Amino acid sequence: MKEKILQTLQDLRQYALSKNYEVTLSYHEEDSYLMRFANSAISLNTNEHLIRLEITAYQDKKRASYELITDLNKLDEMKAGIDTAADMVQYAQPLNYQPTIPIYEASYEDDSAFDINLAEMSSEDKLEFINQAVDGLETDKIKLSGIFSSGANTFALINTRSPHTLYFKSSDAQITLVLAHETLKWEVTAEQSAWNKSNLEAENLHNELAYLIDRYENDQPQQLPLGTYDVVFGPAATAEMISFMNWIAFDGGLMKRGFSFMKEEQIGEKTLSTQFTLSDDAAHLDTFPFKRDLMGLERDKTQLFKEGVFKGFIWSQDDADEFNQIATGHTVPHKSLVVEPGNMEINIIQELASKPRDKDILYVPFLHYMNIVNPSKGIVTGSSRFGALLLKKDGSIIVPYNVRLTHSLLDIFGDKIAWLSNERVAYNVSNSYGARNPTAIIVPKFMKVNDLEISHSNDSY
Amino acid sequence: MRDNLKQQIERLKAQNATYVDVRWYPYEETNYLLMWNGNLKSTVAAKESGIGVRVLYQGAWGFSASSDLSNLSAVFDKAFENAKAAAERVTFPVRLAEKDSIVARFDSPVLSNPFDISLEEKVSFLRDLDAKLNQTNVFQRQSDLNFVRKQIIFLDSEGSEIEKNIQEVFSSIAVTGLDEEGNMHDRKFILPRQGSSRGWESIDRDLFNENADRIVKELNQMLKADQCPKDDRSVILLPGIMYLQTHETIGHALELDRILGYELAYAGGSFVTLDDFGTLRYGSEKLTARADATLINSPGSFGFDDDGVEAQNNLLIDKGILVGAITGRQMVEEANAKAKREIFSGSSGANRATAFYRVPIERMTNINIDPGSDGTLEDIIKNTEKGIVLDGDRSWSIGSNREQFHFGTEMGWLVEDGEITDVVKNPTYRGSTVKFWNSLTAVGDESTWRVHFVDNCGKGQPNQIMQLGHGIPVCRFDNVRIGE
């Protein structure tokens, strides 16, 4: 298949050259499978095989794109798409900067994060995995929801400046299991991300769910008083906040457009906790990495914050062109964000719950529906969900109703950080809007942040 | 093609499939243009076609989709195979509410086809708007045009054959400025419903120019404004935020699949239970809400849903009491069975898919609030002792069961003793859903009622984006926490 994809791109390139067009061609193929669970049944079992071709035509400072869902047997349709893009670009308005068309100096292929066993995992095998993970945990009232999403993702690029191609192929799985009480409405979750079938571990999911269910079944939920708490975030919550940082912290283009809480003059300054180091590092296969960006640039490790010091902004090619900067290899469908671990030997919820403490700790594994309240100050808001616990200083544990936290990311990742776990996990933050784009962020398993205020506390679920 | 699809449906029926339907998209085309600070950043056209096949077998759904129509039987077989695998874990076998077999056609009301308008003219429109927005203190300026047209052929094993020709027009302008401290503020205008058709005729230059001046003026007021105070006040929501309040805390909360737990793994559930229908006081007596898919000229009006059920106008909340939900054929059967009473007499015709490659799920149509009898916006302000007028969505975050919320708005105007006093920046408000709607003390009349379009409502796994509308008046809610 790879040969057919690359040959098709070469054929299309020749067609464009024969018409004196200047174009870039981006091929994306997904084979997506999603088994969805609700009320302890498989509520949907679906698959989509889709091939997308994005054609961008250039004419000096003008640019226009035509995208189509097609298949490899429709060469004429793809050629017609090239004609359409070339026609559109004539009527586009020139940009006030010169957009860069990459010149690939050599072809590049990477399928190091592709595992055919995961990509082609059968429905029967997925169901068996899920059954193992929730074995004995469902009851008449406690029902399973969740997804087993898996698939293969292929990107291939070529343009009229060079005959060389880029080719990327990866496999991925995102597993979310939720056990929810049908009438009491509490819900607990366990999740896993994988690029390789052998990474799948039903037992870990089972253990986490079993522990949380034991708490939630046997403890009466309570409304927490408003006030300040020491909070331990789970990997889902931490990864979600890093996702927002990806958007409003270090993206150069968004900073130039005023949509960032970091400023250019802060480069080199300590702005966050010395315990916080964040990089973009494509060496981690768990992040479904692009080791080259779509412009062909090698993606070396980029430090974003090192021990709290802001190391600088990243620049996609288009933003670099517009704002007269140097592209940093970040013209990619997703980055490979990695938070360095700390030194606290607490890596599973049971260890956290049993650790002696001199103050109550609010455990927030997941933040639901986060959003940006004020990008200039990095203020975000979201509600706890999926298995929050109040770990009392006397060793007892209370199940709290959900609470809302509204804080600046500068505070959360600032000097209020008490500790980070010494082990990490890849948390899958993929969504399935549009084309498949598996994305994961590597974060410490727990992060403790002191003195965070909860601004709203539910009196029920 | 239609005959081939019918043959495939019959073939699976002969193999004991309970129900089969197919949505064939001969085409779906989009055209999107974005002008940002004078740069035409996006000039994108797109086209896709394909089929999505849904098969019900032994109480379980299977779905498959492909853009490759050269081997139809393979797509149908894959959907059937997926259903058979799903049938291995069934707890409540899927049943579909009765419906009529329908042979029909729906066409969006369009006078001037936007796809017949030249790219030059569209670019010219954006270029002129960009120049108009390029005023003092405007740091960033954006304007966009988004056109969609699609043909959908729906066929099912119950004899329905429906053709839909849908067209959509979305457009907006936005400006951003930085205050003295370097904090960004924004103001935008989203094209609401214009008249009774939605073609290129919706793109009214005078309307955009008028609103361009307004949002730039308001942005400049905001840049000099004080911070919104932390306080408890009456909030008067203009349509630019009232639509979102309705969307998030009535619309999503009343999707029957959420109520039945089908979205727990992702979007969340609902605080509403089946016992609540007919009894829950959702809001004050001034609140009457409906799901009206028959409203002329809105993306929430589509003729027939993707179950093949005709569009309807149903009450959701009647004078404050919860009476209805947003439903498709599957969920009403399950809800009635679980409630052991007939809550729903049939599907409300709200099962929709975003594309041929997604399965239909319960989606909002036009979730509207009926206009009230509390007069104009000016009347409501005049009758407010201590309040704040809010407009423009900036940030929204809602609890997983839609039980509480936090909204940030673009702009706020303080009200003291019946008069607007100061503009404030960074306004926010929060509340608990039922308490909030029960604090509804004023509903504006017809003069305040607007139909606001939403082009980006997300839900489901695999994720889907849907387009819809909200017809909403100006509303006032008392004793609401603001400024956090």
Calculate the alpha carbon distances from A304 to A324, A335, A412 in Å. 20, 12, 17
pLDDT of the residue at A393: 94
Say whether A374 and B39 touch across the interface (CB within 8 A). no
- Cα–Cα dist B147/B33, whole Å: 9
pLDDT of the residue at B105: 98
Residues 398-417 of B with CB under 8 A from A: 398-401, 403-404, 406, 408
Amino acid letter, residue B252: H
Quote the Cα angle for B401-B405-B407, to 5°.
145
Query: Looking at the structure, do residues B237 and B200 belong to the same domain, yes or no?
Result: no
- Which 3 state secondary structure label does DSSP give B95? coil
Q: In this predicted model, what pLDDT tens digit does every residue of B346-382 receive, in sequence order?
A: 999 999 999 999 999 999 999 999 999 999 999 999 9
Query: Looking at the structure, do residues B118 and B266 belong to the same domain, yes or no?
Result: no
Neighbours of B120 (CB within 10 A): 12
Decide: B52 and B357 in contact? Cβ < 8 Å: yes
- Which 3 state secondary structure label does DSSP give B288? coil
Cis peptide preceding B462, ω within 30 of 0? yes
Taking Cα atoms as reference points, which of A108, A199, A111, A107 lies closest to residue A152?
A: A111
Pairing between β-strand A227-233 and β-strand A361-364 as defined by DSSP bridges: parallel
Say if residue B10's pLDDT is above 90. yes
From A168's Cα to the closest Cα of chain B, the distance in A is 22
pLDDT of the residue at A435: 87
Answer with the one of B224, B239, B262 that is the final residue of a domain. B224
Neighbours of B27 (CB within 10 A): 12
pLDDT of the residue at A432: 79
- Cα–Cα dist A271/A305, whole Å: 9
From B356's Cα to the closest Cα of chain A, the distance in A is 10
- Cα–Cα dist B394/B480, whole Å: 18
Query: Looking at the structure, do residues B320 and B182 belong to the same domain, yes or no?
Result: no
Place of tokens 């066929």: B155
Q: How many CA atoms lie within 13 A of B28 on its CB side?
A: 19
Say whether A383 and B404 touch across the interface (CB within 8 A). yes
Say whether B78 and A257 touch across the interface (CB within 8 A). no
Query: Looking at the structure, do residues B52 and B130 belong to the same domain, yes or no?
Result: yes
* Partner B contacted by A104 (CB < 8 A): no
- Domain containing B363: what range? 227-482
pLDDT of the residue at A120: 94
Query: Looking at the structure, do residues B136 and B255 belong to the same domain, yes or no?
Result: no
Q: In this predicted model, what pLDDT tens digit does every residue of B106-146 receive, in sequence order?
A: 999 999 999 999 999 999 999 999 999 999 999 999 999 99
Place of tokens 């390029």: B134
For CA atoms B264, B270, B273, B274, the dihedral sign is negative
Provide mean pLDDT across the span B77-101: 96
Amino acid letter, residue B75: V
Interface test mutation site (partner A, options B68, B92, B127, max chain A beta carbons within 10 A): B68
* Partner B contacted by A187 (CB < 8 A): yes
- Which 3 state secondary structure label does DSSP give B405? strand
* Partner A contacted by B32 (CB < 8 A): no
Query: Looking at the structure, do residues B150 and B235 belong to the same domain, yes or no?
Result: no
> Token pair of A211, please?
């522990």
Q: In this predicted model, what pLDDT tens digit does every residue of B440-482 receive, in sequence order?
A: 999 999 999 999 999 999 999 999 999 999 999 999 999 999 9
pLDDT of the residue at B47: 96
Query: Looking at the structure, do residues B73 and B39 belong to the same domain, yes or no?
Result: yes
Q: Residues with Cβ < 8 Å from B290, sequence gap 6 or more?
A: B313, B314, B315, B316, B324, B367, B368, B370
Q: In this predicted model, what pLDDT tens digit does every residue of A243-275 receive, in sequence order?
A: 999 999 999 999 999 999 999 999 999 999 999
Taking Cα atoms as reference points, which of A186, A228, A240, A238 lies closest to residue A370?
A: A240
First to last CA, chain B: 57
Q: Which of A143, A433, A461 is facing B401, going by the closest CB pair? A: A461
| Ramachandran sector of residue A266 (left: φ over 0; alpha: ψ -120 to 50; beta: rest) | alpha
- Cα–Cα dist B319/B48, whole Å: 44
> Token pair of B181, please?
């401290």
Calculate the alpha carbon distances from B252 to A9, A384, B112, B267, B315 in Å. 44, 19, 33, 9, 15
Query: Looking at the structure, do residues B77 and B187 belong to the same domain, yes or no?
Result: yes
Backbone phi, psi, residue B153, to 5°: -110, 120
pLDDT of the residue at A34: 95
User: Mean pLDDT for each 10-residue chunk of chain A (461 residues)?
Assistant: 96 98 97 96 94 97 96 94 97 95 96 96 95 97 96 97 97 97 91 96 96 89 95 98 97 96 97 98 97 96 98 98 97 97 96 94 96 95 94 94 96 97 97 89 98 92 78
Query: Looking at the structure, do residues B232 and B162 belong to the same domain, yes or no?
Result: no
Place of tokens 């089929």: B51
Answer with the one of B224, B244, B279 that is the final residue of a domain. B224
Amino acid letter, residue B435: K
- Which 3 state secondary structure label does DSSP give A7? helix
pLDDT of the residue at B468: 97
Query: Looking at the structure, do residues B205 and B335 belong to the same domain, yes or no?
Result: no
pLDDT of the residue at A184: 86
Say if residue B268's pLDDT is above 90. yes
ipTM for the whole complex: 0.93
We report the CATH number of the domain holding residue B103 as 3.30.2290.10
Residue B210 pLDDT grade (very low, low, confident, very high; cuts 50, 70, 90): very high
Overall number of domains in chain B: 2
Calculate the alpha carbon distances from B261 to A15, A182, B365 in Å. 52, 8, 20
pLDDT of the residue at B482: 97
Query: Looking at the structure, do residues B233 and B96 belong to the same domain, yes or no?
Result: no
Query: Looking at the structure, do residues B270 and B137 belong to the same domain, yes or no?
Result: no
Answer with the one of B205, B224, B243 that is the final residue of a domain. B224
Say whether B47 and A123 touch across the interface (CB within 8 A). no
Domains delineated in chain A? 2-218 (3.30.2290.10), 227-457 (no CATH)
Q: Residues with Cβ < 8 Å from A3, sequence gap 6 or more?
A: none
